Chain A
Amino acid sequence: MPFLSHGSHRIRYELDGPRDAPAYVLVNGLTQYSELWAAYRDALTARGFRVATFDLLGQGASAKPELFISQDDQVESLRLLIDEIGHGPIFLGGISFGALIALRYAIAHGDRLSGLVPMSAFAELSPQLALLGNALRTGLILGGTSYLQDLLLPMNLSDSWLKPLLGKLDAVKRQGWLVNDVYALQNLMESFLDFQPLTPQLSQIKTPTMILNGEFDFLTPRALHETLRVQIADSALVIIPNAYHAFTLEKAALTADLLARFAEDVLAVRWRGNRAVLIAPDEPGGDIMPFPAGFDHLRAIPVPRAAP
């Protein structure tokens, strides 16, 4: 297991796939660990990509600073990893908290990226998200990692994913519970205490950007992704049908296919973001459709879009 060094901290990472291939770097969500990207490693290396995964500071096998973890340190860890990969094309994807770190990296080091994929993302804390974050933090404090998982699983995954697992949820939760320490998760959450919205800086991102948002994402709903679509010039918002916040877990094959297609389009100079709103297929390889013209993609019922 290789490690990078950031000051006195060690960052655990993994590189798979051919050394000279375009690389995908994938950034974990808050309670994740790098093994959860295993399906992406397999799918993307089979499509000719190199894949880099790592544990953020405070997660998994990386260092868990005892009192403070700044988001700047997370961005710096990501920079070290991308430097480690070398000079080829880099595509950066991140889910939820990882999407925020990816956005921050793209703002600071956008010239190093060939493409950016924020998934279940946010650039600011809406009142709902801030209050939910506080409630989740309280849940972590009062009930430990297991209770936080109990809150996140039904919030972020669909009935169809949960139903067959209802009798074995303890087994589903166990690895995440084993590798996550309460104080470290709390430090990650508390890195938002001095958080400033990224929205004013999003327009600095010139990189081709595919924004992925689950149709039924409750934690980071469409409006938060809309901020990214509006502010990032070469972006497109792709809505994943029947998906919730954690669609990278639930729909790994579909999401990996979308990642690969995006990168292939960018490398072939076919990508046109145009701030489009698109709908992903239900299955890998299906057609990506434009959102019906004239309707408001921010609504859950077919309401005509208001004139700009």
Chain B
Amino acid sequence: MSQFLGPLDSTGRVPPLQQTRVASFLTSLHGALARQLAVALPRQFNAGWQTELNAQLHREIEIVSLLMRATSWVPDLMLTYQALSWETAWLPKPTSGVADQRLATTIDIAALGHAAHGAIRPAALLPVEASAEDPFVVALRRIEFESSRLIQAQIHFLKGDNLKPFRDAVSAAVNDRHEQVRTLWADLLGTLGIQRGADNE
């Protein structure tokens, strides 16, 4: 098992099958977040930090669009089953322990966003030799770089005083989404012969 994508070709590009699988996962996850944000965003904002959600909606769409254009796609039969399991996993699951169903759903969407932006580090898959001129390489770096900013809306909401009465339920929801996203990501990377970090032990 390797920790990184590759072996790269002679120009420092990631193999197309690896590009296809990684991009498929990220497209599925960020596409789901974009759809959920589009539905959940209030028509009228009532708090300053919510403006970040508007930016987030468009950045999620940008990530999907970027991957569509930056990836060297190849046919991959495995993805038909994988994509179905991913899309099922991303479906909203109202957080248990919160009676207000709208709030419970919003917490879950934020938890999924926290996991997508916190637990997934696509740029950390790149070996040092990866070409800085390759669009797929640049796209992975850009997605990871944007994630540290995008996650701020989730952090603000999930750690905010409004959710203090539900802190245990919120923490459990975020933990569950992290576990789920990490597991699916690790499974996907496993199909590419990649094992990351503590998973190696």
Which A residues contact B (CB, under 8 angstroms)? 1, 12, 61, 66-68, 140-145, 170-171, 174, 177-179, 181-184, 186, 190
In whole angstroms, how far apart are the Cα atoms of A25 and B144 in the complex?
34
A171 CB contacts on chain B under 8 angstroms: 128
In whole angstroms, how far apart are the Cα atoms of A181 and B196 in the complex?
13
A281 to chain B, nearest CB (A): 38
A186 CB contacts on chain B under 8 angstroms: 155
A12-B198, A171-B128 are known contacts. Are A67 and B174 too (CB-CB below 8 A)? yes
In whole angstroms, how far apart are the Cα atoms of A181 and B148 in the complex?
9
Residue from B118, B119, B124, B148 whose CB has the most chain A CB atoms within 10 Å: B148
List 28 interface pairs A-B (beta carbons < 8 Å), by A numbering: A1-B201, A12-B198, A61-B197, A66-B114, A66-B115, A66-B118, A66-B171, A67-B114, A67-B159, A67-B170, A67-B171, A68-B159, A68-B171, A140-B148, A141-B152, A144-B144, A144-B148, A170-B128, A181-B118, A181-B119, A181-B121, A182-B147, A183-B118, A183-B151, A183-B155, A184-B118, A186-B155, A190-B159
B148 CB contacts on chain A under 8 angstroms: 140-145, 182-183
A96 to chain B, nearest CB (A): 22
Residue in chain B with minimal CB distance to A193: B159
A178 CB contacts on chain B under 8 angstroms: 124
A66-B178, A141-B148 are known contacts. Are A182 and B118 too (CB-CB below 8 A)? yes
Q: What is the number of contacts between chain A and chain B, taking CB atoms within 8 Å?
A: 55
Which B residues contact A (CB, under 8 angstroms)? 114-115, 117-119, 121, 124, 128, 144-145, 147-149, 151-152, 155, 158-159, 170-171, 174-175, 178, 197-198, 201
Residue from B145, B174, B198 whose CB has the most chain A CB atoms within 10 Å: B198
A61-B201, A182-B118, A183-B118 are known contacts. Are A66 and B174 too (CB-CB below 8 A)? yes
A181 CB contacts on chain B under 8 angstroms: 118-119, 121
In whole angstroms, how far apart are the Cα atoms of A68 and B114 in the complex?
13
Residue in chain A with minimal CB distance to B174: A66
Residue from A61, A67, A182, A186 whose CB has the most chain B CB atoms within 10 Å: A67
A66-B178, A67-B171 are known contacts. Are A142 and B149 too (CB-CB below 8 A)? yes
Residue in chain B with minimal CB distance to A144: B148
Which listed residue (B114, B128, B144, B171) contacts A183, Cβ 8 A? B114
In whole angstroms, how far apart are the Cα atoms of A183 and B148 in the complex?
7
Which listed residue (A67, A144, A174) contacts B145, Cβ 8 A? A144
A66-B114, A182-B118 are known contacts. Are A141 and B178 too (CB-CB below 8 A)? no
In whole angstroms, how far apart are the Cα atoms of A181 and B114 in the complex?
12
B79 to chain A, nearest CB (A): 27
Residue in chain A with minimal CB distance to B196: A178
Which listed residue (B128, B175, B198, B201) contacts A66, Cβ 8 A? B175
In whole angstroms, how far apart are the Cα atoms of A181 and B159 in the complex?
18
B128 x A174 contact (CB < 8 A):
yes
A68 to chain B, nearest CB (A): 7
In whole angstroms, how far apart are the Cα atoms of A164 and B179 in the complex?
42
In whole angstroms, how far apart are the Cα atoms of A178 and B197 in the complex?
9
Residue in chain B with minimal CB distance to A171: B128
A1 CB contacts on chain B under 8 angstroms: 198, 201
The 9 A-B pairs at the shortest CB distance, nearest first, are namely A183-B118, A182-B148, A61-B198, A66-B174, A144-B148, A1-B201, A66-B178, A178-B124, A67-B171
| Supplied contacts A142-B148, A186-B155, 11 more A-B pairs, CB within 8 Å | A1-B198, A12-B198, A66-B178, A67-B114, A67-B171, A141-B149, A144-B148, A145-B148, A177-B124, A181-B119, A182-B118
A170 CB contacts on chain B under 8 angstroms: 128
A141 CB contacts on chain B under 8 angstroms: 148-149, 152
A215 to chain B, nearest CB (A): 34
A56 to chain B, nearest CB (A): 14
In whole angstroms, how far apart are the Cα atoms of A144 and B175 in the complex?
22
In whole angstroms, how far apart are the Cα atoms of A66 and B111 in the complex?
10
A67 CB contacts on chain B under 8 angstroms: 114, 155, 158-159, 170-171, 174
Residue from A140, A143, A182 whose CB has the most chain B CB atoms within 10 Å: A182
B159 CB contacts on chain A under 8 angstroms: 67-68, 190
A66-B178, A141-B148, A141-B152 are known contacts. Are A179 and B114 too (CB-CB below 8 A)? no
A61-B197, A61-B198, A66-B118 are known contacts. Are A182 and B151 too (CB-CB below 8 A)? yes
